[in-house]
């Protein structure tokens, strides 16, 4: 039965309900190429199918070419591997072999309604069978197989809820002219998806073809709602505010000299899991704001910095304002080792040099804005991280204490994996810190070294995760998102290629990000006759009078702007929207207020 309100109006449904010492750079930032600017080109959106098919046929995947450097460190890796003959042998795949042969540094840059049920969109990607490799000695000593297994179970459960939709709808298509179609359809949906389908669509199948476009969008929205309910009510990641993991990381962060970690990954769905999976950080202890190309809004970020520092002054949260800690702003750009020329960052034309350079420039603009507005004592620190969307391995541009970052030098987690895979956990951690020190652009801050070492250690588990369950590389090398998320929020989305997120207040200012998402989904969905599901989301502060109503009106304004901008798609039933809001002051799921999917109630004149 439909859970969203039936509405006889076909055009629009009604709603349901600064204080640390400044680290002034002593020398200019080393740029890979002067004058790099973002490239306005986009990658191919369906290449992952060809790559997946090649993988199924046993084809090999090209690795990104590497320029040999840092010979001393590479010799160190060989010495470690040859000297530890008694250690358990490690099973190495193609990705492992390639990583072992690479240098460690100096590489050129290339309060709503009650919850509902769930289950698991379309089989848009050809997935390789999970090849779990859990034999003794096959994982890195610093890897956490139990955490990997839990993350895998969560990934399969949530993505499965979406990926079962198209197979079920195909079976319904074959049944739609059976005498007991409605009963059969509901039993099938309940068994496979975990919920019933809207009767108005099923009951009109005998007079015309089953409205598959509307039914598909309805199911995607249902799967999203159930994901949000499960995330906030069950806390499957055990990382909600106040959880042991969140409190432990917050204490560690303060001990490293930082009172907040603010991360901006690219809005590409292949980085949606960067916090919870690639970096293994508790989501509630990190501020995450995705933007296309990781090009965050400087003014808005300054405003958030002001709020953070004001709270330190007024409430001493997370520590008093006089404490010698800094605000750490981080950008996570991305690249592809499988197909670097086509599957890198679309906002930068798959040019990872441009992605890194522009990310660093945006970080510096933010730092300069804070200093110009609040004097040099209002210090922020900067950190630039790259992420391979095929293996989830990160590379960190380790900054110096003077603030200098070298775009031509980084520490690659895959190389750290090889350098420490035969060491004990204690020796491995010591070695990681040594490698971080050696990779720094200048003499680094000890707290920054500790934090980066921890991030790389966490990433070793994710490298094993991809090797265990995805054969070393993800089959969907390109975009394979299930829906577009628009607005401000989506704290519950922490899965790769589940959502393309367009962070915005208005469509006018966020049009470039949204256009990228629509272009992606024209290839993923519209080319197959399926609609583009768009979930609008605006979080609000429940303690502020009238905030909920203003959030609803905000959703409705953005919905109207989307329908105007993409009028042709909406008119053909190829773009549907779901309007949701959420009280960010409480651990509650998103509340659905309306949808573009409406049904006639019948009767009347």
What is the per-residue pLDDT for 442? Answer: 94
Residues near 28 by Cβ (< 8 Å), separated by ≥ 6?
A: 404
* Distance in angstroms (rounded) separating the CA atoms of residues 134 and 514: 41
What is the per-residue pLDDT for 496? Answer: 95
User: Across 68-182, where does the E strand assignment appear?
Assistant: none
Q: Is 505 a catalytic residue?
A: no
For residue 113, the tally of other CB atoms under 10 A from its CB is 12
| Residue 22, token pair as written in the block | 């400044």
What is the per-residue pLDDT for 605? Answer: 52
Contact predicate 232/300, CB 8 Å? no
What's phi and psi for 413, nearest 5 deg? -65, -30
The answer to whether the bond into 114 is cis (omega within 30° of 0) is no
* Distance in angstroms (rounded) separating the CA atoms of residues 134 and 145: 8
Handedness of CA 591, 593, 597, 601 (dihedral sign): positive
Task: Give the β-pairing of 591-595 and 575-583.
Answer: antiparallel
What is the per-residue pLDDT for 503? Answer: 85
- Which residues is 386 bridged to in the sheet? 333, 395
* Distance in angstroms (rounded) separating the CA atoms of residues 576 and 213: 9
What is the per-residue pLDDT for 233? Answer: 86
| Residue 407, token pair as written in the block | 């775009």
What is the per-residue pLDDT for 192? Answer: 96
What is the per-residue pLDDT for 209? Answer: 84
What is the per-residue pLDDT for 22? Answer: 45
Catalytic residue among 211, 268, 388, 476: 268
Contact predicate 519/308, CB 8 Å? no
What is the per-residue pLDDT for 86? Answer: 37
Averaged confidence pLDDT in the chain? 81
Residues of the chain with pLDDT under 50: 1-53, 55-137
- Which residues is 579 bridged to in the sheet? 536, 594
Contact predicate 579/559, CB 8 Å? yes
């Amino acid at each position: 039965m439909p859970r969203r309100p039936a509405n006889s109006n076909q055009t629009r449904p009604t709603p349901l309900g600064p204080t640390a010492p400044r680290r002034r750079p002593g020398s200019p930032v080393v740029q890979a190429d002067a004058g790099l600017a973002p490239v306005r080109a986009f990658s191919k959106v369906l290449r992952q199918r060809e790559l997946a098919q090649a993988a199924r046929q046993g084809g090999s995947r090209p690795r990104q070419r590497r320029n040999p450097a840092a010979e001393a460190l590479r010799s160190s890796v060989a010495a470690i591997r040859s000297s530890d003959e008694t250690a358990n042998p490690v099973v190495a795949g193609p990705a492992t072999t390639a990583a072992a042969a690479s240098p460690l540094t100096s590489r050129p840059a290339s309060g709503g309604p009650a919850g509902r049920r769930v289950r698991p969109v379309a089989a848009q990607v050809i997935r390789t069978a999970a090849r779990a490799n859990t034999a003794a000695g096959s994982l890195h000593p610093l890897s956490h197989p139990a955490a990997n297994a839990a993350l895998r179970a969560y990934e399969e459960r949530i993505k499965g809820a979406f990926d079962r939709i198209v197979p079920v709808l195909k079976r319904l298509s074959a049944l739609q002219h059976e005498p007991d179609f409605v009963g059969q359809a509901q039993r099938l949906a309940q068994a496979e998806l975990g919920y019933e389908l809207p009767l108005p669509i099923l009951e009109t199948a005998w007079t015309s073809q089953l409205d598959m476009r509307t039914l598909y969008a309805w199911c995607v929205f249902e799967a999203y709602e159930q994901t949000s309910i499960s995330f906030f009510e069950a806390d499957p990641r055990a990382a909600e505010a106040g959880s042991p993991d969140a409190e432990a990381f917050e204490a560690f962060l303060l001990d490293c000299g930082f009172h907040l970690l603010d991360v901006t990954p690219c809005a590409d769905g292949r980085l949606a899991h960067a916090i919870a999976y690639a970096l293994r950080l508790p989501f509630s202890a990190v501020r995450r704001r995705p933007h296309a190309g990781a090009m965050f809004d400087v003014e808005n970020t300054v405003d958030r910095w002001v709020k953070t520092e004001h709270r330190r002054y007024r409430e001493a949260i997370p520590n008093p304002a006089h404490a010698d800690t800094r605000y750490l702003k981080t950008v996570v750009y991305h690249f592809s080792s499988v197909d670097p020329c086509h599957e890198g960052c679309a906002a930068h034309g798959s040019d990872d040099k441009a992605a890194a350079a522009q990310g660093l420039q945006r970080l510096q603009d933010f730092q300069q804005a804070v200093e110009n507005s609040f004097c040099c004592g209002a210090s922020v620190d900067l950190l630039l991280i790259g992420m391979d969307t095929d293996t989830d391995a990160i590379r960190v541009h380790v900054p110096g204490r003077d603030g200098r970052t070298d775009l031509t030098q980084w520490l690659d987690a895959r190389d750290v994996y090889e350098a420490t895979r035969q060491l004990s956990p204690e020796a491995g951690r010591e070695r990681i810190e040594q490698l971080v020190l050696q990779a720094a652009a200048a003499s680094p801050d000890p707290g920054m070294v500790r934090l980066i070492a921890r991030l790389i250690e966490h990433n070793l588990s994710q490298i094993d995760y991809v090797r265990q369950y995805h054969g070393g590389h993800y089959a969907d090398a390109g975009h394979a998102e299930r829906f577009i998320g628009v607005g401000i929020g989506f704290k519950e989305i922490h899965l790769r290629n589940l959502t393309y997120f367009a962070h915005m207040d208005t469509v006018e200012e966020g049009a470039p990000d949204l256009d990228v998402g629509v272009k992606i989904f024209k290839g993923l969905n519209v080319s197959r006759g399926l609609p583009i599901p768009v979930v609008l989301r605006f979080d609000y502060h429940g303690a502020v009078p009238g905030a909920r109503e203003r959030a609803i009106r905000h959703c409705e304004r953005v919905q109207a702007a989307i329908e105007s901008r993409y009028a042709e798609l909406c008119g053909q039933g190829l773009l549907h929207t779901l309007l949701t809001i959420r009280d960010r002051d409480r651990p509650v799921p998103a509340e659905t207020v309306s949808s573009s999917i409406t049904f006639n109630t019948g009767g009347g004149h």
